[in-house]
Amino acid sequence: MHLLDGQSILITGGTGSFGKRFVHTILNQTQVRRVVIYSRDELKQWEMAQLYPNDERLRFFLGDVRDEARLLRAFDTVDYVVHAAALKQVPAAEYNPFEAVKTNILGAKNVIDAAIDRGVKKVVALSTDKASSPINLYGATKFVSDKLFIDGNAYAGSRVTRFANVRYGNVVGSRGSVIPLFKKLAATGVLPITDADMTRFWITLDHAVQMVLDALELMYGGEIFVPKIPSMKLVDLAKAIAPDAELKFIGMRPGEKLHEELISQHDAHRCMDIGKCYVMMPEMEWFEPQRIEGKPVSPDFAYTSDRNEQWLSTEQLMEMIKHV
């Protein structure tokens, strides 16, 4: 029996790339009782509804995570929440910093309060590699969001609600990612590359969805779950997608890292390897979490895209793209 069987689950930002794949998965693989899509765009909700014309389990709820009163209404009788709503484009966040703070930080606070007040059992919030040792505003807002969801467990006190985060890297083929851009520009014969040595983590949507489902099963509260995923150089990515294209080096953009990081060395002392993923346990004097069984990592451990043990080959990348 699956955790979601007979239960009600709500996904904020449910019409995004992750939300659509998550909903498709749970509708087809579980006996979930009700699935609520909470998002701002009525057109995207309408388009998504056309994919499931006869599925009475699906509900659509127009609203913004900035609106706590609307969240309180939406969370009524909801058992589980996956928080995927965010402003995530790095340049847009740099240019519109207060908007990013309102959605990514204040929105997180609203989700936490509404979940506690409505008696939601578990909340899993999506994080990003940019939240580890952040250098841009988007990463900084998600770093704060991660902290809020961890500390939300203490804030909930004796109430039933528990919170955890799932942190992963770039999603293959998601909206706004570099792969659709490279595929579009391939016909021009020129692909822009920021730096010849740049590396990134890569994960498929299906893997991201499974990681969230695993987190819902495994979490006690306060953890950050980090999947083990491969890296690839941007140069190799470009050559795989358009082998005959010219590579034009344009330099790094503001707020961009040469290599991404999912776990910093400063967090190694609270990190465990549980096989399929790493788990960072919370550090809060006022909250004693139940610990997931695993093997502690070495004190000098750091999980970065340039020092990764897993690397994508061209063939593996093309196979991943097929399933986008």
130 catalytic per annotation: yes
Give dist(CA 220, CA 288) in Å, integer.
Answer: 10
* Bridge partners of residue 231, in order along the sequence: 201, 311
Tokens linked to 124: 């899993």
Which residue in this structure is represented by tokens 């819902």?
A: 216
d(CA 106, CA 99): 10
Q: Which residue has the tokens 């765009």?
A: 41
Which of these, 193, 174, 303, lies nearest to 237 by C-alpha position? 193
**What does DSSP assign to residue 290?**
P
Distance CA 66, CA 183 (A): 35
Q: Residue 251: left if φ>0, alpha if ψ -120 to 50, beta else—which one?
A: left
Q: Check 88, 109, 122, 130 and give the catalytic one.
A: 130
Provide DSSP, 204-264: -HHHHHHHHHHHHHH--SS-EEEE---EEEHHHHHHHH-TTSEEEE--PPTT--SS-EEE-
In sequence order, the 6+-apart residues with CB closer than 8 A to the CB of 47 are 15
**DSSP bridge partners of 9:** 35, 80
Residue 170's SS3 state is strand
Catalytically active residues are 130
